[in-house]
Chain A
Amino acid sequence: MSIAVAKLAGPHIDWAGLSPLIAVLGGALVVLLLGLTRSRAAREMAVPGLSIVALGITIALAVSQWGERKDLIAGALRLDELTLSLTIVFCVAGISAILLSWRHIAPREAAHGEYHALLLTSIGGMVVLVAAQNLVTVFLGLELLSIPLYVLCATEMRRASSLEAGLKYLVIGSVGSATLLYGLAFLYGATGSTDFSGIAHALGGGDLATDPLLLTGIALVIVGLAFKSSVAPFHQWTPDVYQGAPTPVTAFMAVATKAAAFGVMLRLFDVALIDAAVDWAPLLAALAAITIVVGNVGALGQSSLKRLLAYSSVAQAGYMLAGVVVASRLGLQATVFYIAVYLVMNLAAFAVIVVRERETAFGDDIASLNGIGASRPLLAWPMTIAMLALAGFPATAGFIGKFYLIDAAVSGGYTWLAVFIVVGSMISLAYYLKVIAAIWMTPADDEVAASVPVPLPGGDQPLLAGGSDEATSVRANGESVAVALVFGTLTLVLGIVPSPLFDAVRDAGAALGLL
């Protein structure tokens, strides 16, 4: 028996190294099965609870593996601090998404088991993607992450815009995947290898730099990844999908998908294709500049918070792309740092939107935030801090993130791109401050009128006293308010004491061996 196994065994499998991936995918299976039980308590409490436990275990395993740098499964995957740090990012985003959807309509309509299993599978795909060291694994990870997301977008089955978002994402995402796959094929054709180190080795000679096959491949890969990370001009799906999808799913997509896309870009461009930088750097730099402008200008006129954050996420993708373009260790560290900061800022904002969507009749319109500075300080502060951080005000994590990116861009010789980041931030002030003005400087009477189901005659609205109002809100949306508070506080704390994050990021930067 043991002889037979030995004969069948393929590559050596390092189970410890794979353990985070196994934990998350195993969790998906368990949750899926548990979702089939009759008991309502099991479905509504145990399923999300177990999903959070699975993600918690994944984080713990990732932390325990910290410091390891090794190839897994014959070089298909790479375990290093970049993989691990991004794995933690995905899991944190996943846990927050589960908490935000705890009382949301989406998991109820889609059945809890499926909803959470899809979420966990998608996270598994992301882990594969950022660990991928082989063109085939890249594609595998990308599809594993995307397909569950297409479904998740459409989980609010009775709302047409949710279905529309899912369909749109499916069509555009497939175009993106197809383009990427085509590009990967060209890269293989040009270099004769699907392995990242093999590609880097083939390009090392320098005689391939003008090879049309390689150039086409790089261009197609950039376009494919640009679709996924919503880099302009391939971002058009983003506002519609972000707006249509259930808000917890939007929050998850905004932070985790983006982190995964940038993780694979870092590995692909700054490791495998580093010697062809002359080919892709100008193109990516131009895309970054366009993305920053398009995202920020697009956000200006938005009145829906989700659309506003969608355009803002496009702009932020431009900032992060600047870190990839620089192709230095500093740039890589700045990008990873910004990914983490971006996660924190956006989750705080989305959590507040989730709560307000449930409380008011305004949905995700900016008007839903009117006057919450007076009535709901526990929601107003995280949102304010998140907006200030996204705009890059000091004493928030966003400032340090932007500082790091500009630092990297200037030392990498891309001062003009740094100026673009700054100009983008200037434009962005207009819409981030609009949100803050709604919170603190707009009276809330309209909001009270709209949120009370049956208005009393004569316009005599029952006044809600500040304290009890807040208390009701906290009781009804405890998990979401907690998410908002935790990430709002983190945004502030990381802006003042960023050193722990810097340490993690430095390890991730060292892992890729860039200068």
Chain B
Amino acid sequence: MTLHLSIMLWLPLAFGVLGLFVRSHYAGWVAIVGAAATLACAVLCVVDFDASATGLQFVTNEPWIRELGISYKLGIDGLNLFLVALTGILWFSCTLWAKFDERTHPRERSQLFYFHLALAETAVLGALLAQDLALFVVFFDLMLVPFFFLTGIWGGAKRVQATMKLVIYTLVGSLLMLTAAIATGVIAAAGPPDISFAFSDLAQRPLSTSSQEWIFLFFAAAFLVKMPAFPLHGWMPDGYRAMPLPVLAVFSGVLSKVAAYGFLRVCLPLFPAASAHFQTLLLLIALASILYGSAMAFTTTEARLVLGYSSVAQLGFITLGVFALDPQGAQGAILQAFNHGLVVAPAFFVVALLAARSSGSEDIRDMGGIAMRAPVLAVVFLIIAFATLAMPGSSNFVGEFYILLGVFTQKIAIAIIASSGVVMAAVYGLRLYITTMHNRTGPRVESRELSFRDGLVVVPLVVLVLAIALYPQFALKRSARTVDAITLPVALKTKALAGWTSYAPLKETP
């Protein structure tokens, strides 16, 4: 059976547009149906995916702008399969959440809200599915537009400043990436009529090392801002504070992963020499993100920023895995991207539930003792917290283990420091759990159990977290072949270039 990725890609937007023309009460349901249908497509992809095949599956390839060599090429392989699934899952849960949320927080112009939410899903899916560099850039930039509106119109305090900061920060990176992408296509082509941006064509036309290096830096800037990574995270605190929680859950759960995915999809295969050249720089940035994110996560008292900074740290781990330039590291990075998305979205949901039980405050000092009257909520949160801190037995543990394994074979010193990040995750994860659920009951806390509707949103996600913890091979097996194909050529390059920071013994490559 053949699957048309175009259907999956445009389905959310179609329902979003449809939602604009119904009464505001029904707009949410239309969006939920759209998200559910998209999720069904994504599940079909995972089921139909042939783990033993190399190369792209379910390919759609049509010329889009012939004059510029841009094609509308979509496809799925081991790199994006689980991120597409993650997008489908999180969008469905969060749309459902946003709809339920309307009872307690009435939302103005809700048709527009769901339209932007749906547009965001289409843009994210487009960025993940695109197999053409220009198409990737188009969708990558487009992702920002709906979030600009979602934050600016329905956000919290100081929403307009926060959304401006968010957009300008991330677009500065994205516009540099636009130049870099065009330069890649132009330099790689022999002449204007020959130009093509398809990844498959570009991979066969390697650039000179000097071009690769500046182009790589432009791409890295875009991805690192989007993640966000340590020195480029300035938009994160304000943006996270202002964003409505259901929106923040998908933003934090999926958008940051698209950036990490970008490294694997664009940088490693197209700029192998530059990736090897800047490996140490990127590893150090990743390391700094882990340390800084962890340190901030256990000092801040705003619950959503604890999660925000922990995401910075987790994304640091993922970057570490990518730039281990080693198949194991990259596999770990993909698994961890999927895990983190699955964990952080319900974590934000729990934050919303906690805030509802402590008179709307999201400060963890105002919470406490919530577990007493809400045992099910406490269990759900405990599972999420354990997964966040990569408890052995959780899938996050497997992911981080693979990442560190990959880095150990390449840069021992960095791997040793990075492993302290695992310990720090335990500190901030447990701190968040204990101060909110246990401790003395806060003065304005009024605890109550998870409602049925809340359970409908969060329980399936938690069940998924448990399922992937029991059987991570499900994901690893499907990504293995693609990851090998992408990382092995670069891994060979790094060994040839091993510089002063490379303490690892050179090992035979298979």
Contact = CB atoms under 8 A, between A and B. Distances in A.
Interface of A: 330, 373-374, 388, 392-395, 399-400, 402-404, 406-407, 410-411, 415, 418-419, 422, 425-426, 429-430, 433-434, 436-437, 440-442, 498-499, 502, 506
B178 A403 contact: yes
A437 B142 contact: no
Interface of B: 65-68, 108-109, 134, 137-139, 141-142, 144-145, 148-149, 152-153, 159-160, 163-164, 167-168, 171-172, 175-176, 178-179, 182-183, 185-187, 192, 195
B22 to A, nearest CB: 15
Nearest to B140: A394
A407 B160 contact: no
Nearest to B185: A407
Given A374-B109, A406-B178, A393 B164 contact: no
Contacts of A498: 65
A426 B173 CA distance: 9
Nearest to B183: A410
B179 A418 contact: yes
Closest 10 CB pairs of A and B: A394-B138, A441-B152, A422-B175, A410-B186, A502-B67, A394-B141, A411-B186, A394-B142, A422-B179, A406-B182
A419 B179 contact: yes
B171 A429 contact: yes
Given A433-B148, A499-B65, 20 more contacts: A393-B142, A395-B138, A395-B142, A395-B145, A399-B138, A399-B141, A403-B68, A407-B68, A415-B179, A418-B179, A418-B183, A419-B179, A422-B178, A429-B168, A434-B164, A437-B152, A437-B163, A440-B149, A441-B163, A502-B66
B contact patch SS = helix
A513 to B, nearest CB: 16
Contact of B134 (A403, A415, A425, A433): A403
Contact of A430 (B168, B176, B183): B168
A506 B67 contact: yes
Given A407-B182, A429-B167, A441 B175 contact: no
A441 B178 contact: no
Interface of chain A, main secondary structure? helix
Given A393-B142, A406-B178, A407-B186, A433 B153 contact: no
A437 B164 contact: yes
B171 to A, nearest CB: 6
Nearest to B179: A422
Nearest to A438: B160
Given A403-B68, A441-B160, A506-B67, A394 B137 contact: yes
A392 B178 CA distance: 11
A406 B179 contact: yes
A440 B172 CA distance: 23
Contacts of B163: 437, 441
Nearest to A394: B138
A440 B153 contact: yes
A426 B172 contact: yes
A188 B185 CA distance: 42
A426 B222 CA distance: 13
A330 B178 contact: no
Nearest to A402: B178
A430 B179 contact: no
A402 B175 CA distance: 11
A173 to B, nearest CB: 35
B176 A393 contact: no
A481 B204 CA distance: 50
A403 B175 contact: no
A418 B142 CA distance: 21
A441 B159 contact: yes
A480 B66 CA distance: 35
A434 B142 CA distance: 18
Contacts of A407: 68, 182, 185-186, 195
A242 to B, nearest CB: 25
Nearest to B164: A433
A295 to B, nearest CB: 17
Contacts of A433: 148, 164, 167-168
Contacts of B186: 407, 410-411
Nearest to B138: A394
A392 B141 CA distance: 10
B170 to A, nearest CB: 10
Contacts of A388: 145
Contacts of B139: 394
21 contacts: A330-B192, A394-B137, A403-B134, A406-B179, A406-B182, A410-B179, A410-B183, A411-B186, A415-B183, A418-B183, A422-B176, A422-B178, A429-B167, A429-B171, A430-B168, A434-B164, A436-B148, A440-B149, A441-B152, A498-B65, A499-B65
A390 to B, nearest CB: 14
A376 to B, nearest CB: 13
B21 to A, nearest CB: 12
A40 to B, nearest CB: 42
A440 B152 contact: yes
B109, B138, B152, B178 — most chain A CB neighbours (10 Å): B178
Contacts of B141: 393-394, 399
A425 B183 contact: no
A319 to B, nearest CB: 13
A381 to B, nearest CB: 11
B81 to A, nearest CB: 25
A437 B175 contact: no
Given A406-B182, A411-B192, A415-B183, A425 B175 contact: yes
A465 B144 CA distance: 32
Nearest to B67: A502
Contacts of A393: 141-142, 144-145
Given A393-B141, A394-B141, A418 B65 contact: no
